[in-house]
Structure formats: structure tokens, C-alpha cells
Structure 1
Amino acid sequence: MSEVQQQAETGPVTVRVPKGTRFALCTCALVLFVGMLYVARDFFLPLVLAFLIALTLSPIVRAGRRRGVPPFVTALVLVVGLSLTILAGATLLTRPVTNWIQEAPRIGYQLRSKLHDLRESVAQVTEASKEVQKLTESVKDPEVQRVSVEQPGFLPSAADDVVAVLAMLLLTAILILFLLGSSEMIYEKIVRVLPTMTDKKRALRLIFDIERTVSRYLLSITLINIGLGCFVGSAMWLLGVPNPVLWGVAATALNYLPYVGNLVGIVTVAVVSIVSFPTLTEALLPPLAYLTLTSLEGQLVTPLLLGRNLEINAVAILVALSFWGWLWGIAGMLIAVPLLIVMRAIGEHFEDLGAIAEFLSSSGRIVHAAPEAEARSPSEAPLPVAD
């Protein structure tokens, strides 16, 4: 009897892969996966955005379905309303942003004039660099020709970027519409495909948990950011900062980027205040007001409304912002925290991924859901806005 027949009679043979080989294979797979996300970002970014927004709005669609409204009708109303809101905000900000771009040279000149000491230091460095450049030009080979590559102008590049952004937003809106309109069908197919009742329950429990958590987080953060923008705009108006509406909208958008957005807002307001006000004391008041409002929001309002169970480890947030910002730019930074929320919810349902959920959490120990827990049907799921 051959060795193969003996193995067939004794049953399947377990092949143990060395630990170093497993680590190398996992590393290669991770690198290939990240490379795929980077190369195909024009495909994956609208898909991820649509997935997150659909998770946020799906409880509203389900609530309308319980009241007899067809899901596709509710989805169409939500997508059109969201699109009109974004369009109105962009139209409202077009004039202030255009004015700031046109005034950028004058603002730069005034800023250099008020920061006289810093300008002198920069001038000394510039003079030194010019002397070095003259020295290198005097000794270079006269037969060597200087070649320069002309870059496309600002307006063509900006036009291409606008067209790409509009195309991405249109694709995202279409994906959101179909995801919201067919969410019940997707849930039914997931239940039908899985083999055992335990798997069906676990899958539905995981889907509803992710939906409830992401929806509550994004809806709550949006309301908090709108409130912060109103307070920041009012404070800028009271302090006499130009274009207070612009700063209110900017504070609302920047607050979706934890830590980084607030820092950018404070620095930008400080620069504009230095240019706009005659004395340093008056120029310090707007950035201090911005810092005070954002600190109250981050340390008091957000923990009070969201609760500690939805807070994410600060280290994980910074790492995610850096990674997704490098991978997909500003849009990647915007979806970094919601993706962490999804990863943590998945980790809470699988013991093998418990370490990931434990690291992402900023609260106590993670309690995993029991496998035998009953999953609620889609029509019975509550609107996940508050506990």
C-alpha cells in the first residue's frame, strides 16, 4: 500500500506552517491589500463613503418602512436632501473663499509686516541660500544646459480636481440610494446564504450592532459639530473677525478630524486675527475663543452625549488619521474614525479579534456578545440615535 493510500485511510493530514512563514505570508498579503486600496482608491473611496452614510441613514429608512413608506422613496428623499444641503453649503461659501484667495497676497504682505522679527530671520536665510546658489552657478560647466519641466497651470489642475470630486460625489450618491433602497434584501440574502442558525444570528447581530453604533456616532457627531460651528461663528462675529459664517462652517467641517482639525482651525484663526486686528491683545482673543469652545466640546459635550462606550483610544485615532490621510487624503481622514468604530464593533463579536477591540476602546474591558443571543429582525430594530 502506498503512502498516499495510507494517509487517505487514516484521515486528513494537518500541515503545520512554520511561524516565520505565516508571518511573512500575512505581511505580504497586508502590503498587497494596502497597495490595492491605494491604486484603486477612485473605486474604493466612493464605496466606503456610501457604505458609512448608508449605515447612518438606514434606521431612518427602516422607521419610514414601519410607517408604510417604501424604502426607495425614503432613500430618495434623504439622498436628495443631503445633496441639496451640500450644494447650498458650497454655494454659501463660494464668495468668502474666493475673496480670501484673491486677498491672499495682501494678507501675506500684512502678516510679514507684523511679524518683523521673524521676517528678518527668514531674510537672512534667504540671502545665504542666494549666495550658495551664485557660488554653484559660477563653477558649473557652461556646456551643461539647464532643463526645466513646466507643470500645468493652477486653473487646469483645479478644474480637473473639481470634475473628479463631482464625479465621486455623484457615484457616492447613487450608491447610497441603492444601498438604502435594497438594505432589507441584502439582509435576507445574508441570512439565506449562511449555513447554520448560529451563523445567521451572529451575522444579523453584528450587522445591527455596526449599524446602530455607526449611526449613533455619526448622527451625534454631526449635531455636535453643527452646534460648535454656530458657537464659533457667533464668537467670531462678536469679536469682529471677518466672515464669521465662513469660520462657523469651517469649524463644523474641521471638527470631523479629531485633534488635527481643531489645531488647523486655531492656527488659521490666529493668522487671520494677526492680519485683521491692530494690536496683539486683540489678535489673541479669537484663537483663544476657538480653543475654549473646542476644548469644552471635546472634554465635556461629546463625552456627555456619546458616552464612554463610543470613545476610541486617542493613539488609535492618530494612527488611523495618519494612515488614511496618507492613503486617501482628506476624505480618508474623514472616514478614519467611523472605520475604527466598525472595526471595534466587529472585534466585540469575535473572540479571536478581541485584542483589536480592546486596543481601540478607551473604556474598560470589552464584553463579547453571547453566541446564543437572539438577533432582532430588521423591522424590529430601533432608530439608533440615543440609548
Structure 2
Amino acid sequence: MTNDPATGRVRGGIRAAAMRAETSLAVLSVLAILYTAYLAQNLVAPITAALVASFILMPLMRTVPFRVLPDALSAALIVLAIVGALAAAVWALAEPAAEWAGRIPATVAELKQKSGDIVEPVEAMRRAGEQMEELTRDRNQRQSIVMREQSLIDRAMEAAGQKGASFLIFIVLIYFLLATGELLRDRVIRSARSLTDKEKARRILRSMEREISTYLLSISLINAGLGLAIGLSLWAIGLPNAALWGVAGALLNFVPYAGAAAGMALTGLVGFIAFDDPGRALLAPAIYFGWNLIESQFVTPSILGRRHTLNAAVVFLSIIFWGWMWGVIGAVLAVPILVMMNTCFAQIEPLRKFSIFIDGRALPGQNANGSPLPD
């Protein structure tokens, strides 16, 4: 029986068209998911944050104090401890944070006064523009401004309600993920068709939990140590409310690159508020920069090693993308999401090629900087 070349070409064309259709469908599906995540960020973002937090807390459920208790009770104790710690932190830091926030406008005005030679031409242009706008503004426009101010208050109240609902979703979902985590894993494994697929699913889930929990727990401990070092150092130079800036430094460090820059700017502004001497004021951001440099160049690489190294360019793009999608919470979740994707891609053969771009480790036959090894 001979093969007809024309029939072979037709079959090849059909297969190529089917592959293009599958690719187009996959791309459209990804775009639809991302668009939904953007529109429903107040729902999707806390769900994603709860999933990330569950990977950190799941190993805690297997420790001796919680292993002897029912899963529902262990999960409730952990969630109550989280809520209690957050409430205590807010209660302890809310007053100094509000005090410093109230001092910022006066400090900005003082800085403008000191730099009057530079700011005065700009202010003159701004005042001239406001006068021209006032001359051309009628009564209806003034009424619309009042209505706009009222709508700003309404939007602020609405945003506060949405954030409160998102936090409630986050806390409740963490409880259910911890209380039913083992059951969910068992159901996922049982849903596989063959014994080989069941074993593969078990291996993927175990690897994802181990890799992600190790990374996130290590980063959390590193950031806590960094915040403690920053707080003690700022306290040593006499900066008021040093504990507040230490906590801010620990939280900001969850956002690579941008967090360190924001922390330096914040401590610099606080230094100028607290100290009259410019040299002493600049000491605060210098200390912040020094501890961040030690953490990023020595502490984190020595603890995590090359095992959890990610491509710096991909990390930066991930922060920009998720920050644009979900704001601050997106920037915080950008790296954990990238770690989850990399771990998942590395365990699934058809997706392993994408893991190569995310992973920052050198390929076989290359140095750490990507150059070929010498013969």
C-alpha cells in the first residue's frame, strides 16, 4: 500500500491548523483569565494571597503541638494567632504612624520654604494658572467641584469596605485551606486516571509545597531579621519610633527593588523631620541602604543558595505586571507567584521549557553569569 503525497500534505495541513487553533485557544484562555483577575482583583487577589500563605503555614500543621489536635482546631488556633498578631501590631503602631503622617505636610512646607529659590518660580506659575482657571470658572463648575469632593469621600468609604471584605476573604480562606488541606490533596491525587498519573500528581504537589514553603518561610524570616536590624540601628541613632520603621522595612522588603527604594525615601524624609542636622538626617537612609545591601548580597544568597535563584529580569517584569494588576498587594505577591509557576513548570514536562526562562541558575556547561565554561 503506497502513501499518496497529496493525502499526506492534506493531513499535515490539518494537523498544523489544529495546532494553530489549540495555540490560539490557549492564548485567548490566558488573556481571559488575566482580564478576569484584573476586573475581580478584590476577590482574586485575597484568594491568591491565602493560597500563598497556606503554603507557609501548612508545614506548621504537621508539627507536634498541632499534629495531635483535629485539623479544624489546629487551623482555628493558627488563624486566631495571625489575627491577634495583626491586631496587636496595628494597636501598637497606629498612633505613631498617625502622628508621623500628620507631621509630613508641615515638613514638606518647611522644605519648600528652605528651597524657595527653586520652588518659587514653579509656585508662581501654578498660582497664575489657578487665577486664570478661577476667572473662567462659572457657578455650575463650582457646584460640580463640591459634588466631586463628596464623591471622593464616597469612593474612599467604598474602597475601605472593599479592602475589609478582601481581608475577611483572606482570613476565612486560610482557615479552610489549612483545615482541609490534606483532604484537598488526596482528592487531587485520586482524580488522576492511572496509577502513574497519581504518583506524578503526588510528587508534583509534594515538591510544590516543599519548594514554596521553604522559599517563603526563609524570606519571611530574613525580612523579619532585616526589620529588627533596621529598627535597632535607627533607635541607636536616636530616630523616634524606630520600631515603626523596622516593621515598615520588613514589610517593604517583600517587594524587591521598589521596596528598598521606598524604604530609603521614607527613612530619609523621617530623618529630615526628626533631625535638624542634615548629616544626621542622611544617616537614617544610609543605615537602611547598608542593611539592605548586606541582606541582598550576603544573607539571602547564603541562606537560599542557588536553589531558589530567579531570573532578575523576569522578577522585575513580574513586579511591574502584578503591581499594575493588583496594586501594592500584587507587587508583594509577584515573587511568590513566580516561585509557584517555576516550581509547577519544572515538574510538568510540556511546560518545563518555560521554567528555563524563569530560573536564574546557570545551565549545564555555563558559569553563574551564563558564559560558557572553559575547556
TM over 0.5: yes
Structure 2 counterpart of 1:364: 362
SS in 1 for 2:107: helix
Moved more, 56-65 or 76-85: 56-65
Task: Structure 2: state its 5+ residue gaps.
Answer: 1-6, 365-375
Structure 1 residue 333 displacement after superposition: 1.1
Q: What is the aligned residue count?
A: 352
Asked whether the 8 Å contact 1:324–1:333 carries over to 2, the reply is yes
Aligned-partner Cα distance in 2 for 1:300–1:152: 51
Deviations 1:123-161 (A, max 9, x none): 2123234445656777x6999967545133776555443
Aligned-partner Cα distance in 2 for 1:63–1:268: 39
Deviations 1:242-281 (A, max 9, x none): 2111101101111111111110000111112123222221
Task: Call closer, same or farther: CA 1:167–1:131 in 2, change over 3 Å.
Answer: closer
Aligned pairs (5 A) from 1:242-253? 242-253=240-251
Structure 1 counterpart of 2:119: 122
SS in 1 for 2:327: helix
SS in 2 for 1:150: helix
SS in 2 for 1:309: coil
Aligned-partner Cα distance in 2 for 1:90–1:158: 20
Structure 2 counterpart of 1:174: 172
Letter matched to residue 356 of structure 2 = E
Q: Tell me which of 265, 268, 278 is aligned to 2:266.
A: 268
Aligned-partner Cα distance in 2 for 1:168–1:143: 41
Q: TM-score, normalised by structure 1?
A: 0.82
Asked whether the 8 Å contact 1:266–1:291 carries over to 2, the reply is yes
SS in 2 for 1:317: helix
Deviations 1:341-382 (A, max 9, x none): 11100111123222221111111238xxxxxxxxxxxxxxxx
Aligned-partner Cα distance in 1 for 2:139–2:245: 55
Q: Tell me which of 333, 353, 357 is aligned to 2:351.
A: 353
Task: Call closer, same or farther: CA 1:344–1:122 in 2, change over 3 Å.
Answer: same
Q: TM-score, normalised by structure 2?
A: 0.85
Moved more, 274-283 or 286-295: 274-283
Structure 1 residue 32 displacement after superposition: 2.1
Letter matched to residue 88 of structure 1 = A
Aligned pairs (5 A) from 1:128-277? 128-131=125-128, 148=145, 150-152=148-150, 157-277=155-275
Aligned-partner Cα distance in 2 for 1:122–1:89: 39
Moved more, 13-22 or 56-65: 13-22
SS in 1 for 2:239: coil
Judging by fraction of residues, say which structure has more helix.
2
Structure 1 residue 75 displacement after superposition: 1.3
Moved more, 105-114 or 293-302: 105-114
Asked whether the 8 Å contact 1:257–1:334 carries over to 2, the reply is yes
Structure 1 residue 64 displacement after superposition: 4.3
Deviations 1:100-141 (A, max 9, x none): 222222222222234x1xx43332123234445656777x69
Aligned-partner Cα distance in 2 for 1:142–1:271: 40
Aligned-partner Cα distance in 2 for 1:150–1:92: 35
Task: Call closer, same or farther: CA 1:95–1:14 in 2, change over 3 Å.
Answer: same
Aligned-partner Cα distance in 2 for 1:143–1:18: 64
Structure 1 residue 297 displacement after superposition: 0.7
Q: Tell me which of 336, 341, 344 is aligned to 1:343.
A: 341
Structure 2 counterpart of 1:56: 56
Task: Call closer, same or farther: CA 1:332–1:197 in 2, change over 3 Å.
Answer: same
Aligned-partner Cα distance in 1 for 2:190–2:263: 49
2:127 paired with 1:106 = no
Asked whether the 8 Å contact 1:62–1:71 carries over to 2, the reply is no
Aligned-partner Cα distance in 1 for 2:251–2:222: 11
Letter matched to residue 127 of structure 1 = A
Asked whether the 8 Å contact 1:64–1:74 carries over to 2, the reply is no
Letter matched to residue 125 of structure 2 = A
Asked whether the 8 Å contact 2:268–2:281 carries over to 1, the reply is yes
SS in 2 for 1:103: helix
SS in 2 for 1:100: helix
Letter matched to residue 283 of structure 1 = A
Structure 2 counterpart of 1:290: 288
Task: Call closer, same or farther: CA 1:57–1:142 in 2, change over 3 Å.
Answer: closer
Aligned-partner Cα distance in 1 for 2:301–2:355: 19
Task: Call closer, same or farther: CA 1:131–1:109 in 2, change over 3 Å.
Answer: closer
Moved more, 81-90 or 23-32: 23-32
Asked whether the 8 Å contact 1:241–1:276 carries over to 2, the reply is yes
Letter matched to residue 124 of structure 2 = E
The percent identity for this pair of structures is: 29
Task: Call closer, same or farther: CA 1:67–1:36 in 2, change over 3 Å.
Answer: closer
Structure 2 counterpart of 1:84: 84
Task: Structure 1: state its 5+ residue gaps.
Answer: 1-6, 367-387
